[in-house]
């Protein structure tokens, strides 16, 4: 079984990235026999990040974060998207099979435009590039959040169209969603996203983390009154760190009253800071030794290219590219 995932280096990693994508990937890497393909999606990041200096810096920072959080380049194939140029060629070839109506129905595009992102071709055709990422490595499973399920379905549709036209070359991928953490809420209760500026960042300093946790939206229930944990943004985030007994204990604290939301925000702040303490130390090491990151990524790209070369040779032959 081959599993593939990518994460954009368009900003600092946050809890939504970790619990919806990175943590499940690390667990699968460490506890299964699956082939793991993991990449930093810097081409995708260009849809929302136009500053060259920031993109380069963010790419290395994202790679350092992946490694610090547990991605093992010995167990997984780990690279930067732009190191495998085949993905752009496949993106163009798949574009010839992509109906406009299919992309016009993509809700992620509509959502991002509604949030103020510029409506350009790169953003519109994003699902085709994502399809190329997936199909270029014949990935069978693609761990995603709920908002990305449609994009995996588009990749599957394009694989079917290509196979029907040219023969069985591409594997049909399936989205893999952990239902209990498919959508991690942000500080405002909406989906946690860099685009919405409602994140709690993994590698922020103590002051920033405290500020982000303190900004979580709550209701006006008085301190002495019981609190509704079922509809509380703080609880919805905190439970991701907790086992069943710990969740039950936190629910009891909410139900008893006598504690304000400030206490629960402080608790979440401590949970987050302590949980990522080992990763934070590794992250600082990698950021101070960036040549090590570059060597790891180049090695991963060589491994990835062996797979992509095989698949692209079949694709070129099928469509008549000399």
Per-residue pLDDT tens digits for 244-282: 999 999 999 999 999 999 999 999 999 999 999 999 999
User: Does the structure show a pLDDT above 80 at 206?
Assistant: yes
Residue 226 annotated in ligand binding = no
Count of CB atoms situated within 10 Å of the CB of 148:
20
Taking the C-alpha atoms of residue 305 and residue 316, their distance in angstroms, rounded to an integer, is 15
Phi, psi of 182 (to 5 degrees): -60, -35
Residue 252 annotated in ligand binding = no
Residue 16 annotated in ligand binding = yes
Active site residue 194: yes
Predicted confidence at residue 181, as pLDDT, reads 61
Domains, the chain, ranges and CATH?
A: 2-183+289-319 (3.40.50.620), 194-279 (1.10.240.10)
Phi, psi of 165 (to 5 degrees): -85, -35
Taking the C-alpha atoms of residue 183 and residue 180, their distance in angstroms, rounded to an integer, is 8
Across the chain, what does the average pLDDT equal? 93
Residue 68 annotated in ligand binding = no
Residue 95 annotated in ligand binding = no
8 A C-beta contact, residue 296 and residue 80: no
Predicted confidence at residue 227, as pLDDT, reads 97
**In this structure, what is the dihedral angle of CA atoms 114, 118, 119, 124, given to the nearest 10 degrees?**
-100
Catalytic pick from 28, 141, 194, 227? 194
User: Does the structure show a pLDDT above 80 at 163?
Assistant: yes
Q: Which helix (H) or strand (E) is 7 found in, with range?
A: strand 2-7
* CA 30 vs CA 26, 172, 262, 293: distances in Å: 6, 25, 37, 21
Taking the C-alpha atoms of residue 239 and residue 247, their distance in angstroms, rounded to an integer, is 6
Q: Using a pLDDT cut of 70, give the percent of the chain over it.
A: 98
Catalytic pick from 23, 28, 112, 141? 112
Residue 133 annotated in ligand binding = yes
Residue 146 annotated in ligand binding = yes
Active site residue 85: no
User: Does the structure show a pLDDT above 80 at 148?
Assistant: yes
Taking the C-alpha atoms of residue 114 and residue 110, their distance in angstroms, rounded to an integer, is 6
User: Does the structure show a pLDDT above 70 at 243?
Assistant: yes
Residue 195 annotated in ligand binding = yes
Taking the C-alpha atoms of residue 45 and residue 39, their distance in angstroms, rounded to an integer, is 12
User: Does the structure show a pLDDT above 80 at 116?
Assistant: no
Predicted confidence at residue 144, as pLDDT, reads 83
Count of CB atoms situated within 10 Å of the CB of 124:
16
Using alpha carbons, select from 43, 47, 206, 64 the residue that is nearest to residue 133. Answer: 43
Residue 194 annotated in ligand binding = yes
Q: What is the mean predicted confidence (pLDDT) over 213-229?
A: 96
**∠149-151-152 over CA atoms, to 5°?**
65
Residue 53 annotated in ligand binding = no
Q: Identify the band that residue 301 occupies on the pLDDT scale cut at 50, 70 and 90.
A: very high
One DSSP character per residue, 212-255 reads: HHHT-------TTS---GGG-HHHHHHGGG--HHHHHHHHHHHH
Taking the C-alpha atoms of residue 202 and residue 212, their distance in angstroms, rounded to an integer, is 11
Which residue is it, tokens 């509704």? 228
Residue 197 annotated in ligand binding = no
8 A C-beta contact, residue 173 and residue 37: no
pLDDT digits (tens, 9 = 90+) for 53-74: 999 999 999 999 999 999 999 9
Of 300 and 109, more confident: 300
Taking the C-alpha atoms of residue 311 and residue 126, their distance in angstroms, rounded to an integer, is 21
User: Does the structure show a pLDDT above 90 at 30?
Assistant: yes
Active site residue 191: yes
Token pair of 241 as six digits: 């760190």
Catalytic pick from 141, 191, 227, 265? 191
Neighbouring residues of 149: CB distance < 8 A, sequence distance ≥ 6: 175, 177
């Amino acid at each position: 079984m081959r599993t593939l995932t990518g994460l954009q280096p368009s900003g600092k990693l946050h809890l939504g990235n970790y619990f919806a994508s990175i943590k499940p990937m690390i667990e699968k890497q460490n506890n299964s026999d699956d082939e793991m393909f993991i990449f930093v999606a810097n081409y995708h990041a260009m849809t929302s990040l136009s500053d060259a200096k920031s993109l380069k810096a963010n790419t290395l920072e994202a790679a350092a974060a992946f490694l610090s959080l547990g991605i093992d380049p010995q167990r997984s194939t780990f690279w930067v998207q732009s190191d495998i140029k085949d993905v752009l060629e496949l993106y163009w070839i798949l574009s010839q099979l992509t109906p406009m109506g299919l992309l016009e129905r993509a809700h992620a595009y509509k959502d991002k435009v509604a949030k103020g992102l510029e409506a350009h071709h790169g953003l519109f055709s994003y699902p085709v590039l994502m399809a190329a990422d997936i199909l270029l490595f014949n990935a069978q499973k693609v761990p995603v959040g709920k908002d990305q399920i449609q994009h995996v379905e588009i990749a599957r549709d394009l694989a079917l169209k290509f196979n029907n036209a040219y023969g069985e070359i591409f594997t049909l991928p399936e989205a893999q969603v952990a239902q209990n953490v498919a959508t991690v809420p942000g500080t405002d209760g909406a989906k946690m996203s860099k685009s919405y500026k409602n994140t709690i960042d993994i590698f922020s300093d103590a002051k920033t983390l405290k500020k982000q946790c303190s900004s979580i939206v709550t209701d006006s229930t008085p301190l002495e009154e019981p609190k509704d944990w079922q509809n509380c943004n703080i609880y919805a985030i905190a439970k991701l760190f907790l086992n069943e007994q710990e969740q039950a204990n936190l629910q009891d604290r909410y139900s008893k009253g006598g504690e304000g939301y400030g206490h629960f925000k402080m608790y979440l702040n401590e949970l987050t800071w302590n949980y990522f303490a080992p990763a934070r130390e590794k992250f600082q090491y990698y950021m101070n030794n960036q040549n090590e990151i570059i060597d790891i990524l180049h090695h991963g790209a060589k491994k990835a290219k062996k797979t992509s070369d095989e698949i692209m040779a079949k694709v070129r032959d099928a469509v008549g590219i000399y």
